[in-house]
């Protein structure tokens, strides 16, 4: 009897020791499968070569080093990110398929009549990876350089000055319509197919006012080829500390920062969600990775599932209200 009890204790101690040793690199789920034990796919719901794609690949490389499992980046662009997002919503709930998405995730439910998934309830928050602000910028030859002056000029010349955004239904478009409403401006919207062509036309002066992502415009701003007027967010961006926020200039509704974050399908075991979140948060806060994200004109975050879930819910409510107020829809 003593030998039997001693053997039981030894086995229990061995199991506990094994579980603890896995803590830094993976988890043991209820089915006793160490996570991860096979490749992980990160779906990016936009085209290869943009900042979201670059971020997914940076994070994937680091996860591969830590977990010794390949991380595959799968680009599934189309329909304002809804194609790739729907794919992840319907993926197995095992933690091996994740979505690296951005603010459009909580905007699309108000823009599309039927996207085929619930942006909040069909997903589990993992970690907010980084922030990226949107700016109101003007061409170098534009006659004014501040928001009050711009508003005064456009009001005095109704219909004369159109503004450009990086696409119909994008954050830039939504904010442009919000500015028109808040400042009572008469401005035509020109929707470009992405930030690069918008930046090109702003520099050339073909369109003189634009709402553009900081990441797209930063090099042009640094070179003096574009002039920043105002930036989104509750506080000034560390990337552009001299640029006032819309809030400072007296305009509300521009506070939500554009974010990038990782989600998994709802129903993934919590131990796997927590393990993935812990690694993502650690990775983006590493000095070298933080620098690489800053080089992409992103501000690293790396928070918990609970913190990111609150961001999702708060921003969902904010963008729903703004989009309804300005009356934008997409088919």
Q: Give yes or no for residue 97 having a pLDDT over 90.
A: yes
Residue 49: which pLDDT band, with cuts at 50, 70 and 90?
A: confident
Count of Cβ atoms closer than 10 Å to residue 200 Cβ: 13
CB 193 within 8 A of CB 172: no
Q: Which residue segments constitute the domains of the chain, with CATH numbers given?
A: 31-131+257-326 (3.40.190.150), 134-231 (3.40.190.10)
pLDDT value of position 238: 85
CB 192 within 8 A of CB 127: no
Tokens of 209: 């006012």
CB 328 within 8 A of CB 173: yes
What is the spatial distance between Cα 146 and Cα 136, in angstroms, rounded to a whole number? 10
Query: What single string gives the DSSP state of each residue in 20-45?
Result: HHHTTT-EE-TT--EESSS-EEEEES
pLDDT digit string, tens, across residues 130-175: 998 899 999 999 999 999 999 999 999 999 999 999 999 999 999 9
pLDDT digit string, tens, across residues 236-288: 988 899 999 999 999 999 988 789 999 999 999 999 999 999 999 999 999 99
H-run or E-run covering 320: helix 305-326
CB 85 within 8 A of CB 105: yes
* Residue of 102, 75, 66, 128 lying closest to 284 (CA atoms): 128
Cα→Cα distances 73→85, 101, 127, 145, Å: 14, 12, 17, 41
Comparing 32-36, 148-152, 186-190, the range with the smallest average pLDDT is 32-36
* Residue of 36, 79, 67, 105 lying closest to 263 (CA atoms): 105
pLDDT value of position 8: 46
Residue 31: which pLDDT band, with cuts at 50, 70 and 90?
A: low
H-run or E-run covering 2: helix 2-22
Q: Give yes or no for residue 78 having a pLDDT over 70.
A: yes
The CB-side HSE value for 104 (13 A sphere, CA atoms) comes to: 26
* Residue of 80, 77, 47, 44 lying closest to 328 (CA atoms): 80
């Amino acid at each position: 009897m003593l030998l039997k009890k001693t053997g039981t204790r030894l086995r229990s101690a061995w199991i506990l020791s094994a579980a603890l040793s896995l803590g830094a690199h993976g988890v043991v789920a209820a089915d006793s499968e160490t996570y991860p034990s096979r490749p992980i796919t990160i779906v990016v719901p936009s085209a290869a070569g943009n900042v979201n794609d670059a971020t997914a690949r940076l994070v994937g490389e680091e996860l591969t080093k830590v977990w010794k499992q390949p991380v595959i980046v799968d680009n599934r662009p189309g329909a304002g990110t809804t194609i790739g997002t729907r794919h992840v919503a319907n993926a197995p709930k095992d933690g091996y398929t994740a979505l690296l998405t951005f603010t459009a995730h909580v905007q699309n439910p108000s823009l599309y009549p039927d996207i085929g998934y619930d942006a909040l309830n069909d997903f589990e928050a993992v970690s907010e990876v980084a922030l990226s602000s949107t700016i109101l910028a003007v061409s170098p030859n534009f006659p004014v350089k501040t928001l009050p002056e711009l508003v005064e000029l456009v009001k005095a010349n109704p219909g004369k000055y159109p503004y450009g955004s990086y696409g119909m239904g994008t954050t830039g478009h939504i904010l442009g319509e919000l500015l028109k409403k808040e400042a009572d401006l008469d401005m035509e919207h020109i929707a470009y197919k992405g930030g690069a062509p918008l930046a090109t036309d702003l520099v050339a002066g073909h369109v003189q006012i634009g709402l553009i992502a900081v990441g797209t415009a930063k090099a042009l701003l640094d070179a003096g080829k574009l002039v920043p007027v105002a930036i989104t967010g509750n506080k000034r961006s560390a990337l552009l500390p001299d640029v006032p926020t819309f809030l400072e200039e007296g305009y509300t509704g521009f506070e939500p920062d554009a974010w990038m974050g990782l989600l998994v399908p709802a129903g993934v075991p919590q131990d796997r969600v927590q393990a993935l979140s812990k690694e993502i948060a650690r990775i983006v806060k590493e000095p070298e990775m933080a620098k690489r994200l800053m080089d992409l004109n992103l501000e690293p975050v790396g928070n918990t599932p609970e913190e990111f879930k609150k961001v999702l819910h708060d921003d969902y409510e904010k963008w729903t209200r703004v989009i309804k107020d300005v009356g934008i829809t997409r088919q």
